[in-house]
Amino acid sequence: MTDVLVLGSGVAGLTATIHAANRGLTTVVLTKAALDTSATAYAPGGVPAALEEDVDSPDLHLADTLTAGAHLCDEDAVRVLVTEGPDRVRELISFGARFDRLGADLATTREGGHSVARVIHAGGDATGAEIQRALAQTTLDLGIEVRERWLVTDLLVEDGRAVGVRALDASGAPRQVRARHTVVATGGAGQCFAITTNPPVSTGDGIAMALRAGVAVADVEFMQFHPTALDSPSSPRLLISEAVRGEGAVLRDDDGFAFMTEEHPLADLAPRDVVARAITRRCIERGLDHMWLDATGIRNFADRFPTIWRSVRAVGLDPAHDFLPVAPAAHYLSGGVMTDLDGASNVPGLWACGEAACSGVHGANRLASNSLLDGLVFGSRIVEAIAAGKDVPEQSGVMRGIVRWEGPAGRDLDVVAGVREPSIREWLQRVMTRDAGVLRDHERLTRASDALAGMQPDSVEDANLLTVGRALVAAALAREESRGTHTRLDFPERSPRFDGRLVFSHGFTPTLVPLPESLAPELA
């Protein structure tokens, strides 16, 4: 029987894969598209790590992450992330990843929310593609078994232990793959929304499978919306990175007014959620789909942002002369399968890492670029824990207090099969964007909940999107406050009543698990 079965081939899955093979564990990767297909490959920005001790420190990175997370990060998990991050980055370089350099040193840049320049990048704005290339090549060089175009459909849980998965193989035939340990690294769920930066593979499959199997899932109401995705009919939408505003681009409304000056002292460089809300509000007020990004003042756009430049040119726009139409897009899911500090879920034998997991490092709002690092750090920790003989979760990280928690009894989350309707995904995406997007309230969320309840999915992935969408809406309804990326127009303030995680175990009713006393924050 295989020692380690890895689901997904992005940064998180392949990091776990390579560590497992290097530890001498038999390892198989199942991935539903090609080995190099993932959200990872889309990430332009970079990886933050406190590599230069004279200007930066893990403590500073920790403080920035906790601030972004709006008092919902797990501090121990963040400490693991920031202290082990630098070694994982050095290891990635040893696997062949080539990062941009200034002379002999790694070039670093600063992104929103980081107090120093600590984000390393590759190919200017092609960091994720370089990481994906290096990890995929290492996987192939190590001769690890990769089964491409295998769609995992369900987790196998027997006598309370995960023992592998059900999947459709490359020919579409149903199969079972059994393993001692199963690692969920299936990425995020941006495809729940009509407007998203996430690629087609980001359908929340691992999270939906976990929900169906009764594995604890939390924080799914915290979908981060990137404020400036290019408003074009393409899906995924092209992300115009924050760095473009960092270089001087300005958001304007249809009258040409630079409206962010009225919204926040940092104007266009305000935190992501502030910018996303401001654009959405203005779009609603004016009955428009987008605002405008004026990057005409950036002289060396093509050199500084070669990938964005090529993509924008491909749709006929020239940033030197044209304002770029932009709108907020679903970008990053902070929640997922709950794990302890080693990536263990509450079901023995089942582990999770990367965007599919909720390790507590992102809280209510991910600090820019912490996600690639998250995959590197926790993908490796899972395997180190397995190699050290760990078999059951412990009460660490977000699992404090819930390891033996079974959740309320209730109906299982079934995949609804049967009646086929065309374009169910489009319908679901529109409902989610309209009613569970950047600005939420009871009325909109209830409307979303009712609409989702009546939907009949017509594929495995659509069923997964529906399952994750229903959980997201239920959590967003239950969280009667605004915090991080979750904005309730009817509850605009943060409330101490919600200093905790909304956890799903069985059914669509989340339970609020308060933060342990020692972690309960003072409200600022």
Ligand X SMILES: Cc1cc2nc3c(=O)[nH]c(=O)nc-3n(C[C@H](O)[C@H](O)[C@H](O)COP(=O)(O)OP(=O)(O)OC[C@H]3O[C@@H](n4cnc5c(N)ncnc54)[C@H](O)[C@@H]3O)c2cc1C
Site of interaction with ligand X (CB under 6 A): 7-13, 30-33, 37-40, 42-46, 128, 151-152, 185-188, 197-198, 201-202, 205, 239, 332, 354-356, 369, 371-372, 375
Q: Which CB, 263 or 355, lies closer to ligand X?
A: 355
CB 193 within 8 Å of CB 211: no
CB 199 within 8 Å of CB 459: no
- Give 433's contacts (C-beta < 8 A, 6+ positions apart): 193, 194, 195, 330
Q: How far is CA 119 from the centre of its chain?
A: 18
CA angle (263 as vertex; 257, 269 as ends), nearest 5: 90
Of the residues 272, 366, 425, 483, which is catalytic?
A: 272
- Nearest-approach distance from CB 256 to ligand X, in angstroms: 28
Please name the residue that has the structure tokens 């969320």.
445
Q: Which CB, 48 or 407, lies closer to ligand X?
A: 48
| Residue 97 DSSP class | -
- Nearest-approach distance from CB 164 to ligand X, in angstroms: 13
- Nearest-approach distance from CB 228 to ligand X, in angstroms: 11
Task: Give the strand pairing for 27-31 and 145-148.
Answer: parallel
Round to whole Å and give the CA distance between 446 and 505.
21
Phi then psi for 135, rounded to 5 degrees?
-70, -40
Candidates 473, 424, 486, 472; CA nearest to 445 is: 473
Q: Which CB, 372 or 515, lies closer to ligand X?
A: 372
- Nearest-approach distance from CB 267 to ligand X, in angstroms: 22
If DSSP codes are grouped into helix, strand and coil, which group holds residue 431? helix
Phi then psi for 25, rounded to 5 degrees?
-90, 140
Q: Which CB, 355 or 499, lies closer to ligand X?
A: 355
Q: Which CB, 11 or 78, lies closer to ligand X?
A: 11
- Nearest-approach distance from CB 65 to ligand X, in angstroms: 12
If DSSP codes are grouped into helix, strand and coil, which group holds residue 491? strand
Strand partners, 502: 512
Q: Which amino acid is at 524?
A: A
- Nearest-approach distance from CB 229 to ligand X, in angstroms: 8
Please return the burial class of 522, using the count of CB atoms within 10 Å of its CB with bins 0-12, 13-18 and 19+: exposed
Q: Which CB, 139 or 369, lies closer to ligand X?
A: 369
If DSSP codes are grouped into helix, strand and coil, which group holds residue 26? coil
Q: Which CB, 243 or 428, lies closer to ligand X?
A: 243
- Nearest-approach distance from CB 476 to ligand X, in angstroms: 20
Q: Which CB, 187 or 343, lies closer to ligand X?
A: 187
- Nearest-approach distance from CB 167 to ligand X, in angstroms: 7
- The CA-atom distances, in angstroms, between 504 and each of 214, 301, 421, 435 are 8, 45, 28, 21
What's the token pair of residue 10? 């992005």
What's the token pair of residue 29? 């990767």
Q: Which amino acid is at 396?
A: S
Round to whole Å and give the CA distance between 68 and 348.
32
- The CA-atom distances, in angstroms, between 45 and each of 98, 120, 188 are 14, 8, 17
272 is catalytic: yes
**CB neighbours of residue 265 within 10 Å:** 7
| Residues belonging to the active site | 272
